[in-house]
Structure 1
Amino acid sequence: MVKEEVIRLWRICFQDSEDFIRFYFDKKYREENTLTLSENGQIVSALQMLPYQMTWNGNLIPVSYISGASTLPEARKKGYMSQLLSKAFGVMKNQKIAFSILIPQEDYLYDYYAKTGYVPVFGYTPENYYLPVKYTHKQVEILSSQKCFSSLPELYCYFNRQMLKRPNCVQHTAEDFKIILEDLYLSGGHLILFRHISGEIGGLAFLQPLPDKLHISELLADSEDEKSALLNTVADQWNKSEIELKTPPRSGHTIRRGMARMIDTLQVLGIYAQTHPHRTILLQLTDEIVPSNSGFYRLKNGSVFRTDSEIQRPDLQLDIRELTQMVFNYPAFISLMLD
């Protein structure tokens, strides 16, 4: 019953195809990860909290991705989504989730989510290629869906190994990888493979052909040589010269892509202290939505502990947004989220 009502809400609030809606609610939706609010016996607001892991400061940490956050048009501006997010943070805190993460679907929503403690920490650097002279590399293969899914263990092994090399990057399980590929082929996309003469995989590209250009939502390769082979082959096979690609953020040109909010402050500050062992800080933190996070924290000799002492003047007085921003000393990366 709840699932059907959430599907109805999704149809009203989002412009997704029926094929995608059926796919999402079959593959990703779980009632235990869903929070709702009702008005007059009808669900008017809902969100899902999807579990992921993320590389951060040399660790693999648990994060919760907010998906499908929606409110019926006639029920908006009543604070329902703020209530749901507040409840979600409590659930996440009990689950020892380090950060809540999300991707705002519209630019104005960055300001909305900022009010609940999120800050824009995810970004990407766009790469646009124009390849008037194209060629098909003999070691590149356009995988059929059948061959792709029969090779899942090998493909995921390479994918996972390359993803784990990225700092500050949201990761995907083997089950999630399969769902990503199912969505890719369902939407008319293709997985492109580079294989070395030795037989080992050397690169993967997640391709989505568009009417006027080619879009690659993710590309992983051993080096620039394998990357070039993948790009030139797709340009040649689809007879298009323009390719757009979103890559992990680099200094100089980064476009914001998503937001994070700290949830489990002791876990996060414990990792931060370990990676900054020479920093000694007395921090006073304010978190109006998760009051249990508020208080004094001392970072010293690679450890963190809470203290009730207010005798000493704190070195830093931060709110939860400022602290989240502080611990992300360079932009994070998020991709392949079915968004």
Structure 2
Amino acid sequence: MKIRKASALDTEEVKALWAYCFEKPSDPFFQWYFRELYTPETVLLGEEKGQTACDLHRRPYRLSVRGQVFDTDYIVGVATHPAARGRGYGSELLRSAFHMAAREGKPFVTLMPSAASFYLPMGFGFFVHQWERKTSPEHLAPLGRKPVSCRILSGEEGWQDLAAVYDAYTAERNGFTIRDESSWRSHIRGQLLEGYIALVYDEKGPSGYLFYSLDDRRMIVTEMAFARESGRRGLYAFMAGHRGSIDECIWYEPLDDMSFRYWEDGAEHTYIRNRSFPYMMARLTDPVTAFDGISCSGAAKGSLAFQLVDAFLPENSGIYVFRVEEGKISALKEDVFYSLKCHIEDISGVRLGPDIPEPSFCINAGSLAELFMGAADLPDLSRLEKIRWLTEDRAERDRVLSLAKAMLPKENNWMNEWF
């Protein structure tokens, strides 16, 4: 299969494949996506015998991860022509997308999986789950508090208020996208095609917003953010205010949110259904570029080495060493030096010392992505047997776990991009 970037000449075929697999051309989202977001050069296309076999869209985003801003690709619209399915073309196309991202200095990519079982063997790991919450307006009402004021946006004029709430909401979170004026205006236009945007205010100003739609007597919230608890309560009151016109509210909140501990009458189980919703996955394309330069705790001192096994991108497999230097991680791939060390030790029988450290554990690509994104720390992965220890020395294991936790602590992750 030949893989290449699409051009303007391929647009109709790209549209046809999207229409077959996702929305029809008459769908408002289809029309908006190809009018406002689509650019041919961000589509990777696979051809077999001159015919389009598959494609994917590389949506450019900037994400905040561990205090750094990274350029990345959000992969959407992975589609294979029905006549070309079952031949591994989709996997081959994704591998090319990973290589392209690495060449462009994007050390990881993200996607929202339709079937995680397809992507896990490719080295993806989940980095965002959310709570999906459902209840009737009547049962939500006791948790709400009437806001000082509320407005429904009819256009792009309220983007600054949305941005202010979003910035406050993400201030202590990780993995979220950086949104500027252009992206906010685009989000608003996309949402207002078939839905609504509500903003609530307290005495301090804009305090919360909802992106939502009304369908079959349900309010479906696709994005909720609040600057303060008064904003959350105001949004709950806004949703509860639809009693009589809807039967159910559905909304999503970050997995770190523990507000259900304070719901009345055991609402978590009796009145409000609260389940985890797997949402976003990440895949490292260049581990050294991803980790190198990340700031870490001043308590972190020393170095650790590990072996990465990456079956889908075998060129990434090898020995990696992380050292803390002036409060930042220095990441190196030590394959050549480690192989030379082993060779000399085998021949001479003399240990060469700690300058070229032995790997302490083995990890796969998906688990390394979770560690990088802050979805888990190394002690979590060890408890879940997602790493394999290469040392029997208990003291060394404890040292590595303690250092890794200081270097790469778990984060409160949240991201809410749907396209």
Is 1:193 the counterpart of 2:221? The answer is no
Q: Which residue of 1 aligns with 2:255?
A: 249
Answer whether contact 1:213 1:241 (CA < 8 A) is retained. Answer: yes
Task: Indicate yes or no: 2:419 matched with 1:335.
Answer: no
Q: Which residue of 2 aligns with 1:230?
A: 235
Tell me what 2:318 maps to. Answer: 295
Query: Aligned with 1:218: secondary structure?
Result: strand
244-253 or 296-305, which deviates more? 244-253
> In structure 1, what is the equivalent of residue 95 of structure 2?
86
Deviations along 1:15-48, one digit per CA (max 9) or x if unpaired, are: 4553211111112211121100112322120001
The structural deviation recorded for 1:184 is 1.4
Structure 1 counterpart of 2:183, one-letter code: D
| d(CA) in 1 for partners of 2:104, 2:368 | 21
Q: CA deviation at 1:273?
A: 7.1
CA distance in 2, matches of 1:28, 1:165: 29
User: Quick one: distance in 2 between partners of 1:120 and 1:296?
Assistant: 24
| Other structure's SS at 2:241 match | helix
CA contact (8 A) 1:298 1:304 kept: yes
Of 48, 62, 80 in structure 2, the residue corresponding to residue 53 of structure 1 is: 62
Matching residue within 280, 284, 288 for 2:303: 280
AA aligned opposite 1:213: R
**Residue correspondence of structure 1 range 1-339 to structure 2 within 5 A:** 1-16=9-24, 17-105=26-114, 109-132=115-138, 137=146, 139-146=148-155, 149-187=156-194, 189-197=195-203, 200-237=205-242, 239=244, 240=246, 242-250=248-256, 254-271=276-293, 274-275=296-297, 277-278=300-301, 280-301=303-324, 302-307=329-334, 308-310=336-338, 311=341, 313-327=358-372, 328=374, 329=376, 330=410, 332-338=413-419
CA distance in 2, matches of 1:136, 1:223: 13
Tell me which stretches of 4 or more aligned residues in structure 1 moved more than 6 Å: none
Over aligned residue pairs, what C-alpha RMSD do you find? Answer: 2.6
Change (3 A) 1:110 1:155: closer
Identity %: 21
Runs of 5+ consecutive residues of structure 2 not aligned to the other structure: 1-8, 259-274, 342-356, 377-409
Q: 1:10 to 1:229 in 2, by over 3 A?
A: same
What is the TM-score when the length of structure 2 is the normalising length? 0.72
C-alpha contact (below 8 Å) 1:266/1:304 kept by paired residues: yes
Is the Cα–Cα contact under 8 Å of residues 165 and 226 in structure 2 kept in the other structure? no
Asked whether the equivalents of residues 136 and 237 of structure 1 are also in contact (C-alpha less than 8 Å), the reply is: no
Counterparts of 1:102 and 1:286 in 2: how far apart (Å)?
22
Distance 1:197 1:210 in 2: 32
Separation in 2 of the partners of 1:122 and 1:2?
Answer: 34
Q: Is the 8 A contact 2:147 2:202 kept in 1?
A: no
Per-residue CA deviation, residues 155-204 of structure 1 (Å, 9 max, x unaligned), is: 334334433442232343332222221121111x2111112345x21211
The question of whether the paired residues in 1 share the 8 Å contact of 2:129 and 2:276 is answered with: yes
State the AA in 2 paired with 1:335: N
Are residues 175 and 163 of structure 1, via their aligned partners in 2, closer, same or farther at CA, if it must alter by over 3 Å? farther
1:249/1:138 CA distance change after superposition, 3 Å: closer
Task: State whether residues 117 and 320 of structure 1, in contact with CA within 8 Å, keep that contact through their aligned partners in structure 2.
Answer: yes
Question: How far did 1:52 drift?
Answer: 1.3
Q: Give the letter aligned to residue 90 of structure 2.
A: M
| In structure 1, distance between residues paired with 2:145 and 2:241 | 6
Q: Matched residues in 2 for 1:314 and 1:336: separation? A: 37
CA distance in 2, matches of 1:223, 1:241: 27
Could you tell me which amino acid in structure 2 is paired with residue 305 of structure 1? L
User: CA separation in 2, counterparts of 1:167 and 1:76?
Assistant: 37
Q: Report how many residues are paired.
A: 331
Deviation at 1:260, TM superposition (A): 0.9
Kindly name which structure, 1 or 2, has the bigger radius of gyration based on alpha carbons: 2
Alpha carbons of structure 1 residues 150 and 325: separation in structure 2 relative to 1, 3 Å: closer
C-alpha deviation, 1:49, in angstroms: 0.9
Contact kept? 1:286, 1:320, Cα under 8 Å: yes
CA distance in 1, matches of 2:173, 2:133: 18
